[in-house]
Amino acid sequence: MSGASSANADFSPPTAPTATASANTNIALIKYWGKVDEALAIPATSSLSLTLEGTRTTTSVSFDGGAGTADSVTINGSSPTGAELARVSRFLDLVRSRSGVCAPATVISRASVPLAAGLASSAAGFAALAAAASHAAGMNLDDRALSQLARRGSGSATRSVFGGLVLWNAGHDDASSYAEPVACAMDLAMVVVVLSERYKPISSTRAMRATMVTSPLFPAWVEASEEDLQVALEAVQAGDLERLGEVVEGNALGMHAAMMAARPGIVYWLPQTIATLHAIRAMREEGLPVWATIDAGPNVKALTEGARAEQVAAALRDRLPGTTVSVRRPGGGVRIEEGS
């Protein structure tokens, strides 16, 4: 918090502008798991994701002096402390150091989808924060530069800058690691199956570090992932949902295999996670186009064709009583809100 702690409210302009931005979350079809450079958040692999509509986090930022000597942060009506606050302030320090603005900031953020909906929050949160903070600090970033900045907050936020299908090029340094949209004529949707609303037992950041350092399967996953990405991109170009679905499901299972092989093993799955995987396989055998993907938690997201999404959701509800199932369609990228 060097920038925030050395700054003083007296140095802030009397009418510091407020900028408001929003971003949707995204679900990776080909996963990001592991950083080769933690400080710069350079991932071990490139990844591919679908940004989802109706999952926006909206964030306002003003470098107005914040709480006096520190940033004032409000997320969903409460004030984070400890590591969560430090993570936001570290990100704001980066914006301050690049823009020359020194004042502490006031940040107010609200997610439109509750955490309990089983959708990652850091992707939308840091993409919206990157857009609002850079705008409030007077930086005029294009979308690529914005995705590079968002990456420093949370890896998956790199991709939430863009709508629809998005490729995050792993790159090898700050300039070469960024996201870009991928042309897609396919009618895709995700059906989200929420099995548990509990917080995850270990954060993604820690779990991916442990997988990289201790899992003998990690190098194999990285190698397979490069090939998976090529297959996925070819499938998208060919409009081949079956080929895309197979590689999406295989890539997620491979990521979980690599983390399960860490010492000690990282197991995000619950018994219902396995039950959902089997339900999806049975539905495929009955002719439904549906493939599973799983992130750093027990919940399952099913990739399907947009036109069949409600039918897939109904079939999942039938087979998995007591779970919450919702359809999410592709959504847009970061937006600077009116009045900023």
Residue ranges in contact with ligand 2P0 by CB under 6 A: 28, 31-33, 41, 47, 122, 154-156, 204-205, 295-296
Residues 6+ apart with CB under 8 A from 282: 319
Name the minimum Å distance from CB 91 to ligand 2P0: 11
Rounded-to-5 percentages of helix, strand, coil across the chain: 40, 20, 40
Name the minimum Å distance from CB 55 to ligand 2P0: 13
Q: Residue 101 or 266: which CB sits closer to ligand 2P0?
A: 266
Q: Residue 101 or 334: which CB sits closer to ligand 2P0?
A: 334
Q: How many angstroms separate the CA atoms of 62 and 340, rounded? A: 10
Q: Residue 96 or 256: which CB sits closer to ligand 2P0?
A: 256
Name the minimum Å distance from CB 47 to ligand 2P0: 5
Residue nearest to ligand 2P0 (CB): 155
Report DSSP letters for 28-52, one per residue: EEE----EEETTTTEESS-EEEEEB
50 DSSP assignment: E
CB 253 within 8 A of CB 273: no
Q: Residue 64 or 295: which CB sits closer to ligand 2P0?
A: 295
Q: Residue 7 or 30: which CB sits closer to ligand 2P0?
A: 30
Name the minimum Å distance from CB 255 to ligand 2P0: 7
Q: How many angstroms separate the CA atoms of 252 and 11, rounded? A: 49
Q: Is 301 helix (H, G, I), strand (E, B) or coil?
A: strand
Name the minimum Å distance from CB 155 to ligand 2P0: 3
Give me the residues paired with residue 110 across strands: 58
